[in-house]
Amino acid sequence: MSESAVEVSGLTKRFGDFAAVEGVSFAVERGEVFGLLGPNGAGKSTTIRMLCGILAPTSGEGRVGGHDVGREPEAVRERIGYMSQRFSLYLDLTTEENLEFYGGIYGVARERLSERIGWALEMAGLEEQRHRLTGELPTGWRQRLALGCALLHEPEVVFLDEPTAGVDPISRRRFWEVIYGLAEAGVACLVTTHYMDEAERCDRVALMYGGRVIALDSPEGLKRQSVAAGLLEVACEEPGRAVALLQKTAGVKRARLYGAGVHVVVSEPATGARLVREALEAAGLRPSRVEAAEASLEDVFVALIQEAEAGGAR
Amino acid sequence: MNGDRILAVADKEVRYLLRDRRSLGVTLLLPVALLILYGYAINFDVREIPLAVYDPDRSAESRDLVQTVTRTGYFRLVRTLDSPRQAEDVLQRGEAKVVLVLPAGFAADLAAGRTASLQTVVDGADSLTATISLSYLEAMAQEWSLRRLAEAGGGERRAPPISPEVRVWYNEGLASTHFIIPGLVVLILMMVAALLTSQTIVREREQGTIEGLVVLPVTPRELIAGKLLPYVAIAAVDVALIGVAGKLLFGVPLRGSPALLSGLMLIYIIAALGTGLLISVLTRSQQLAYMIALIATLLPTMLLTGFVFPVASMPKVLQMVVQLHPSTHFMVIVRGLALKGAGIGVLWPRALALTVIAGALLAASAAKFKKTL
């Protein structure tokens, strides 16, 4: 039982010459909320599809709940809960009927099923909507129902594929409370997301780009990464002109608008602040503030991806 | 195959059907409605053919011949022409389908013992009616001649050289309803069943619920089986209604075993439902699936599988191709059972073919479904 809930090593999927996922390795522990991030086409969905036993890996290994995803896809599917951005609910069935269908497919014993349906309705806050058609429910409610369906059989591992796309902030917060509850109960949760604030909520995050994992750490760990070092927050006049100017200044790696000011990444953190201030003063842009800032997760990801792109071009 | 999962799929499908009561009602009543509509409309018995007569002879004999022809009910005298030129006119306007011309001297020829001529003009544009009219007229003229010979014989009564003793078996009255209704049953069941299942999988694809099914521990076979079950039940109700209607309204007999017919009908329905399922797996939109199901069932069943036109008179290649269509086999089975009282001893090759086709359709659906996931 020392095995992790999800173990991935060297997982690769090729479609012809195109490697959608290449050499991906990570592990998700029981009770952990693990985030999978990356731009569209980075290989997140392909990775999840392999881990759900839908897509056979070209090479490498994936084990979910102790079962090999390539060799025992059925055993894997019985042990996981999966919820996607496009909720696979039957809109012409009621809330309860959807739950009954999923319970039947997951083979939840009849006497246990009503108890589990009660649990799911309570968890999703849908007790009052039990007999309403799913198609009449707002998106946020449907999302919680979809989660309830995916959890009916008490899976050891839950895959949430962009679960909060198109959901209002309050529903999203409530949704994350459910996820933390699951993690506390020892369920391994693997979440893909576009939202940075959601990435911050994960215990650990893997950033995927071009089919590879290019960084894997806790959100705090990622922010401490060297790529994000040398970030300066600048307040000055005419920030638009400042960005154009700084992008051409030697010793500045990147400059972009950030809020009312400018975020600048310099190659030499020790001397960078002085360099930027001098450049702006010379141009008459009157910098009122130039100081080191803590990188946001977004800064880190942008930096990591640009670095990966540069590496790929090399 | 896991029974509980099949039942879960079937249960969901049933609730889905029950939610849309209007469609369910249509599904249950449509077959009977179609049977009644087409059962009365499609009729190959030609009666009351409109007839025009040009009779310049105006003799007792010519009048007697015309009377003989019209008395039977097969022909109805619509017009007496004043000149032979009018013949073309009445045929073109469709006023009459047949024109009888009894030339002047008709009675005189008969009296002199010569062969009198009787000209018959038939509207060949409607070849079916034309053929039947001609054979009726020939038979009537023949009968009339024989009767005259007998009456005028004066002792020297001559027997016709051959007198065929024709017995029609299985459909003694040659009622075309007995031929049509079983064929209609084959056609309607095929069409309704295939249309039913043609929507079931493509709908899940359109609504995106298929994505959810893929990650569930349900196999394509379980899914196909679960989806099939409720529709078999619906089709069974359709069969019962159609059977009752065929018997009560059209008086089509069932001379073979009802149990055997039910069993074979079940296999046929599964084949028809399987056709719909395969179409549903292969298509990307409900509308397209509907159209393909309609075209794949209605046209071949009506034109190619022996409903009206005998398979034996088709080109050899086509004959082989239509063996793949379940309707071809069930057409033979239904007619054999209903009219001829045939048993499994005769029908087993057809039953076997039907079973193989049904199995192949379902296996193909499941296999193709697995690949498209």
pLDDT digits (tens, 9 = 90+) for B85-103: 888 889 888 899 999 998 8
**pLDDT confidence bin for A314, thresholds 50/70/90:** very low
**pLDDT confidence bin for B181, thresholds 50/70/90:** confident
Query: Among residues A73, A78, A26, A41, which one has the least CA distance to residue A54?
Result: A73
Q: What is the per-residue pLDDT across A131-182, written as a single tens digit (0 to 9) for each?
A: 999 999 988 888 889 999 999 999 999 999 888 887 888 888 888 988 999 9
Give the pLDDT score at B356: 97
Q: Locate tokens 């090729």: which residue? A: A14
Give the pLDDT score at B161: 61
Q: What contacts 24+ positions apart, CB below 8 Å, involve B56-60?
A: B56/B102, B56/B103, B56/B104, B57/B102, B57/B103, B57/B104, B57/B105, B57/B106, B57/B107, B59/B106, B59/B107, B60/B107
Q: Provide φ and ψ at A67, rounded to 5°.
A: -115, 140
Would the pLDDT of B291 be above 80?
yes
Would the pLDDT of A229 be above 90?
no
Query: CB distance B211–A84 less than 8 Å?
Result: yes
Cα–Cα distances in angstroms (integers) from residue B363 to residues B274, B278, B354, B358, in the given order = 9, 9, 14, 9
Q: Which of A54, A80, A87 sits opposite B373 (nearest CB)?
A: A54
CA-atom Rg of chain A in angstroms: 23
Mean pLDDT of B34-44: 83
Structure pTM?
0.77
Would the pLDDT of B36 be above 80?
yes
The A-side interface with B (CB below 8 A) comprises: 52-54, 74, 77-78, 80, 82, 84, 86-93, 97, 100-107, 159
Please report, in angstroms and rounded to a whole number, the separation of the first and last CA atoms in chain A: 44
Strand partners, A61: A9
Query: CB distance B12–A93 less than 8 Å?
Result: yes
Give the pLDDT score at A121: 93
Q: In what order do the strands lie in the sheet with A157-161?
A: A80-84, A157-161, A188-193, A33-37, A204-209, A212-217
**pLDDT confidence bin for A313, thresholds 50/70/90:** very low
Give the pLDDT score at A1: 46
- Shortest Cα distance from A293 to chain B (angstroms)? 44
> In chain B, which residue's Cα lies nearest the Cα of A53?
B215
Query: CB distance A107–B15 less than 8 Å?
Result: no
Mean pLDDT of A60-85: 90
Distance, in Å, from the CA atom of A268 to the CA atom of A86, rounded to the nearest integer, reads: 46
Give the pLDDT score at A227: 59
Q: Which residues of A touch B2 (CB under 8 A)?
A: 107
Interface test with A, best of B14, B15, B205, B216 (most A CBs within 10 A): B216
- Shortest Cα distance from A76 to chain B (angstroms)? 8
Q: What is the per-residue pLDDT across B313-340, written as a single tens digit (0 to 9) for each?
A: 889 999 999 999 999 999 999 999 988 8
Do residues A5 and A79 make contact, with C-beta atoms less than 8 angstroms apart?
no
> In chain B, which residue's Cα lies nearest the Cα of A105?
B5
Q: Which residues of B touch A97 (CB under 8 A)?
A: 12, 15
- Shortest Cα distance from A27 to chain B (angstroms)? 21
- Shortest Cα distance from A103 to chain B (angstroms)? 8
CA-atom Rg of chain B in angstroms: 28
Amino acid in position B32: V
**pLDDT confidence bin for A312, thresholds 50/70/90:** low
Instruction: Tell me B305's DSSP state.
Output: S
Q: What is the per-residue pLDDT across B296-309, written as a single tens digit (0 to 9) for each?
A: 998 888 888 888 88
Q: What is the per-residue pLDDT across B236-282, written as a single tens digit (0 to 9) for each?
A: 888 888 888 888 888 888 888 989 999 999 999 999 999 999 999 99
Give the pLDDT score at B7: 93
Would the pLDDT of A123 be above 90?
no
Amino acid in position B350: R
Q: Locate tokens 């173990």: which residue? A: A7
Query: CB distance A105–B20 less than 8 Å?
Result: no
Q: What is the per-residue pLDDT across A191-213, written as a single tens digit (0 to 9) for each?
A: 998 888 888 899 999 999 989 99
- Shortest Cα distance from B9 to chain A (angstroms)? 7
**pLDDT confidence bin for B136, thresholds 50/70/90:** confident
Across the A/B interface, how many CB contacts are shorter than 8 Å?
68
Do residues B318 and B304 make contact, with C-beta atoms less than 8 angstroms apart?
yes
Interface test with B, best of A45, A80, A99, A101 (most B CBs within 10 A): A101
Distance, in Å, from the CA atom of B305 to the CA atom of B324, rounded to the nearest integer, reads: 10
Q: Which residues of A touch B8 (CB under 8 A)?
A: 100-101, 103-105
Mean pLDDT of A274-299: 85
Task: Output the six-digit token pair for B150.
Answer: 């007998």
Would the pLDDT of B56 be above 70?
yes
Would the pLDDT of A122 be above 70?
yes
Query: Among residues B328, B325, B295, B293, which one has the least CA distance to residue B309?
Result: B328
Give the pLDDT score at B40: 84
Query: Among residues B143, B93, B96, B145, which one has the least CA distance to residue B121?
Result: B96
Do residues A87 and A146 make contact, with C-beta atoms less than 8 angstroms apart?
yes
- Shortest Cα distance from A17 to chain B (angstroms)? 21
Query: CB distance B209–A54 less than 8 Å?
Result: no
Q: Which of B12, B207, B215 sits opposite A101 (nearest CB)?
A: B12
Give the pLDDT score at A64: 93
